[in-house]
Structure 1
Amino acid sequence: MARDNHSDRKNELRTTLTDLDGAGYGGYKRLRGTHRVATPNGTPVTLSVDKVQSDPFAPPSLVQASIPFSETGIATTLLDVDISDIPVRDHLTRRIASSLREHNPSGGKGSGFLAMDTPGQQVLDRSSVVISVPDDRVTVRLEVALPAQGRRIRGRAAAALLCEVLPTVVQDALLDLDTDALDAVELAHETYLDQEFLRGELDHLGLVGFVADGSVLPRAAGNSQH
């Protein structure tokens, strides 16, 4: 019977990490490159490990996880505007940040964790999510603190983090978009367009800003987002 090469590739990363269990932390450098994992519902995820931290106390490793953009269900028409895909990417970044808070392990260095910059109130041109319509890809850029016990690799914990937690975050944030979630993406897009239009009107109207009806201006503190 012919071997399922795709299934084999999905298991390669887990096998490598399991084999590394207990090795010196530098062994994680073997992860550098491209791997295949899958979400719980079976969607293939391309995982690129771009930078591997030198020890448990160094800055986290850098990875990219990508899936077909068409799998998200988000209309490509939301990207066909002069301002590009800023509001869609910003909204997806917020979904990923929320999913990370829900699914990240809580065991500290022994379990490792996934991270990305959590957005504030501003809608910005972020590099945390990249969308390429011609390639039908959406890519998430993350930091990964690879699990350690002292300066030894916790390979099974790393396998759980990269082969289970990360794909679950991808599915939760990018694939499990029901009607309400897709409507929220469209609302984020429309709100951003409205803001950009209003900002464009300020100069020739001789205004310096605008405040929407019903706005609540005071915040809990000067450094608060709420």
Structure 2
Amino acid sequence: MVYDVDTGAVLARRELETVGHAAGHHVHPVDGSVYLDVGEGQDGSVIFRGTTGADGEVEFVAYPWWDRCLIDLAPGGEQFMTVDHGQADVAFHRHPDGDVLFTLPVEAFGYDPAETFVEWSGGYLTPDTAVVVLGGEDEEEWFRYHLVDVHTGTVGGEIAVEVTSPYEFVPLGDGSWLTGGPVRRSRATAGTDPDPAIPRG
């Protein structure tokens, strides 16, 4: 359902025909359209995009995948990042049509796909760089944060992120990120350790 923020009136309603029990909203930073990622548990994930036409009518588009999870939108809005529901790869798509720009499987990061997976987390650290989170389990669970050039698909170095869960890491698109609380961190150059924590607020 789409509501008028001033009056609460229902502007549009659509049956999504999903069996989801949760959804994430992502507002496009330029055109204001809304991406909706509906998780369907073991059945996968469905991504919708809602827009308002020139006539004021609300329109919904469903992307033709049921097996990709929306992770983040680029700060400039020209692309978005998804992870395979089975966690085998990460892909970067053109906005708004969703065409795949490039895909990186686990092997592209130098890991064995039988022992390593792409986490459903990460995102755009800057307009030019995304962070892809790889995870696995040896004697205990581990996560590593890899940098990717979103224009060329080149895998770069790693950054050090101090979290207990990969979902605590939230990149903000300006070179900084949150780590599970009111602490914002940044880095000076690719592949270096983060600067000391800078409390905000």
TM-score under structure 1 normalisation? 0.23
Higher relative contact order at CA 8 Å, sep ≥6: structure 1 or structure 2? 1
- TM-score norm. by structure 2 comes to 0.25
Greater per-residue strand proportion: 2
Larger radius of gyration: 1
